[in-house]
Structure 1
Amino acid sequence: MDSHILQISGLHKTFSTPQGQVKALHNINLNVSEGEFVTIIGPSGCGKSTLLKIIAGLDNSYEGRIVLNGQPIEGPSIEKGFIFQEPRLFPWLTVQKNIAGNFSLKDPAVRLRVEELIELVRLQGFEQAYPRELSGGMAQRVAIARALLRGPKVLLLDEPFGALDAFTRSHMQEVLLDIWQKDRTTMLLVTHDLDEAVFLGERVAVMNARPGQIQSLQHIQLPHPRKKASTAFEQYRRAVLNEFEKVEDSRAAGLTGSHDEMKII
C-alpha cells in the first residue's frame, strides 16, 4: 500500500458560539493509503467526529486541504460511505430493501450485489426481516452493507459499536474486520475504546484534547486475527495508552483540557 487515497493537510476547524470562537481542530495532517484501516482515538470533545464529517463532505467550513482519490472534497458523494453511531434504517423496509436503498432490486446486477453483501455481513436468512426484528448488531451490519453497495473509496465509521453490549461489540469487531479483509475498502473508524482501536487498526491515530490534533500515529504491526490477551497486543495497547498519559501530563501543566475531557472508555 504505497498510494495515498486520502490526503489531509493543514486542517483547521473553528466553531462560532455565543461565547466566541471555539477551536475544534488544529493543523490536522494525515495521509491514508488505499485499502488501509486507520482507527482514531482521543478524549471526548477532541473533534474526532467533526473530522469524519469534514472528510465525508458534510461540513465545508474549515481551513486546509482534503483530497480523496486525487480530487478535493467539496461535499457528500458516493465515494464516501458514512456509518453513524446508530443504524438509521427505514423501519418499513426489509433488510434486502434497506441495503438496496433507492436502487431497484429488479436490476439483476443490484440484486446480485445485495446478495453478496448480505453474505459478507453474515445476514443470510434475514433478507426479508424488518429492522424491528433485528438485534442492534444485526441492524448495524445492514447499515454497513448499505454503505458498501455504492462502492465507496473510503468508509467512515463514527463509533459504530458504541451502543452495543460488550459481547456484541466484540463480535461486530470481528465481523467488520472480516468485511475489510474481503472487500479491502479503505476504512477510518472513530472510537473511544482503546482495545477496539488496537484490535482493528493498522495504524492508530491518537488525538489530544481540544483543539484536536493528531498527537501520534502508532503502527500496529500484528497479523490478523489478533488476540487481545496476547503479550504483543498488550505491548501495543500500552504504547497507545502512553500517548494518553502524555496528554494527561500536558493537562496537569495547564496546557490542555480539563480532567473530564481526558477520560477514555
Structure 2
Amino acid sequence: MAADMLVVQELNKTFSTPSGTVIALDRIGLQVKQGELITIIGPSGCGKSTLLKIVAGLDTDYEGSVRLNGKQIDGPSIEKGFIFQEPRLFPWLTVEKNIAGNLSLKKPDIREKVTELIELVRLTGFEKAYPRELSGGMAQRVAIARALLRNPDVLLLDEPFGALDAFTRSHMQEVLLDIWQKNRTTMLFVTHDLDEAVFLGNRVVMMNPRPGHIRKVLTIDLPYPRKRASQSFQELRHHVLKEFEKVEEPAIDHGAGI
C-alpha cells in the first residue's frame, strides 16, 4: 500500500475577532496517499478553505503538524499548486504565456510542456488567445494548466467551478477527471456541492462548523466514469446528505450547478 504523501495531525487554527477568539479548525486529522483525489465538503464557515490554505503554505499561523512528503509545510512552494475560484489570469498575456508564467517559451522543454498541457486541458487552437476571448470554463482550464506546469506533488482546488453555469461546471468536472486519470496528480478539492463531491472523489471528507472539524471520511468505491442517475450514485449521495442532516443548519448545496 502506498505511503501517505500528506499527513495532517492535531491541526488547530484560531482567529482573533473584536468579540473574542474564534476556533476555525479543531483537531483536524487527515492522511492522503499519493494519487488520491479527495473532495472536502461542508457548510459555509466550517474551515474548508482555511484547511486548504494551510496545506498550501499560505497560512502558517496554526498549531499541529502538516507534513508533505515527510517535511513540515512552512510556506508556499512549487510542490503545491493552488487553484482559486476565479482563474486570476494576466489579461495582457496569451493562453500559452499565462501557462508559462515567468518561464520562457523560447526554451524548447518549456514550450513542449506548455503544448502538452494545452492539449491535456483541451485548449488546442487557443494558444494565442487572450483571457477576454475565453469563456469562464476555458479560463479556468488555463489556470489548471498553469498550476500543473511545475509538476506539483499536490494540487489544491478551492471551489474552482463554483462560479460556472451548470453545463460548464459539469463539463469541467469531466475535464478534471480526465487530467487526474492521465497524470494521477494528488488533488484536494474543496466544494459546497454534494453531487460534485461524490462525482469526483475517491474519498469525501465531510466537515462541520463551530468549530470546524471532520465529521466523517467516506470512501467512494464507484468506478469511473460515474453516472449521476445510477442507483449506486444516488444511494451514496443520500448517505452523505443524511450525515449532514444530523447537524443543525447544514447549509449544504444539494446539487447546485448540476
CA contact (8 A) 1:79 1:153 kept: yes
Report the TM-score when normalising by structure 2.
0.97
AA partner of residue 25 (structure 1): L
- Determine the C-alpha separation between the residues in 2 that align with 1:94 and 1:233: 40
Equivalent in the alignment of 2:187: 187
- Determine the C-alpha separation between the residues in 2 that align with 1:163 and 1:217: 26
- Determine the C-alpha separation between the residues in 2 that align with 1:110 and 1:51: 32
CA contact (8 A) 1:40 1:191 kept: yes
For residues 73-97 of structure 1, the C-alpha deviation after alignment (integer angstroms, 9 at most, x for no partner) is 0000000000001000000000000
Q: Which runs of 5+ in 1 are unaligned?
A: 249-258
CA contact (8 A) 1:79 1:151 kept: yes
Q: Which runs of 5+ in 2 are unaligned?
A: 254-258
Structure 2 SS opposite 1:218: strand
Equivalent in the alignment of 1:214: 214
- Determine the C-alpha separation between the residues in 2 that align with 1:149 and 1:13: 31
For residues 51-82 of structure 1, the C-alpha deviation after alignment (integer angstroms, 9 at most, x for no partner) is 00000000011000000011110000000000
Equivalent in the alignment of 1:83: 83
Matched, 1:238 2:238: yes
Equivalent in the alignment of 1:144: 144
> What is the Cα deviation at residue 2 of structure 1?
2.2
Q: What RMSD in Å do the two structures reach over aligned CA positions?
A: 0.7
Equivalent in the alignment of 2:55: 55
For residues 166-194 of structure 1, the C-alpha deviation after alignment (integer angstroms, 9 at most, x for no partner) is 01000000000000000110000000100
Q: How does 1:9-28 map to 2 (within 5 A)?
A: 9-28=9-28
Equivalent in the alignment of 2:112: 112
For residues 94-146 of structure 1, the C-alpha deviation after alignment (integer angstroms, 9 at most, x for no partner) is 00000000000011010000000000000000000000000000000000000
CA contact (8 A) 1:46 1:207 kept: yes
- Determine the C-alpha separation between the residues in 2 that align with 1:12 and 1:118: 39
- Determine the C-alpha separation between the residues in 1 that align with 2:75 and 2:101: 20
Structure 2 SS opposite 1:247: coil
Equivalent in the alignment of 1:254: none
> What is the Cα deviation at residue 33 of structure 1?
0.3
AA partner of residue 263 (structure 1): A
AA partner of residue 58 (structure 1): L
CA contact (8 A) 1:86 1:140 kept: yes
Q: How does 1:136-175 map to 2 (within 5 A)?
A: 136-175=136-175
- Determine the C-alpha separation between the residues in 2 that align with 1:5 and 1:247: 31
Matched, 1:33 2:33: yes
Structure 1 SS opposite 2:246: helix
Report the TM-score when normalising by structure 1.
0.94
AA partner of residue 129 (structure 2): A
For residues 219-256 of structure 1, the C-alpha deviation after alignment (integer angstroms, 9 at most, x for no partner) is 000100000000000111111112101223xxxxxxxx
Matched, 1:73 2:73: yes
CA contact (8 A) 1:47 1:210 kept: no
> What is the Cα deviation at residue 3 of structure 1?
1.3
AA partner of residue 125 (structure 1): G
Q: How does 1:249-260 map to 2 (within 5 A)?
A: 259=249
Structure 1 segments (4+ residues) deviating >3 Å? none
- Determine the C-alpha separation between the residues in 1 that align with 2:110 and 2:35: 24
For residues 12-71 of structure 1, the C-alpha deviation after alignment (integer angstroms, 9 at most, x for no partner) is 000011111000000000000000000000001111000000000000110000000111
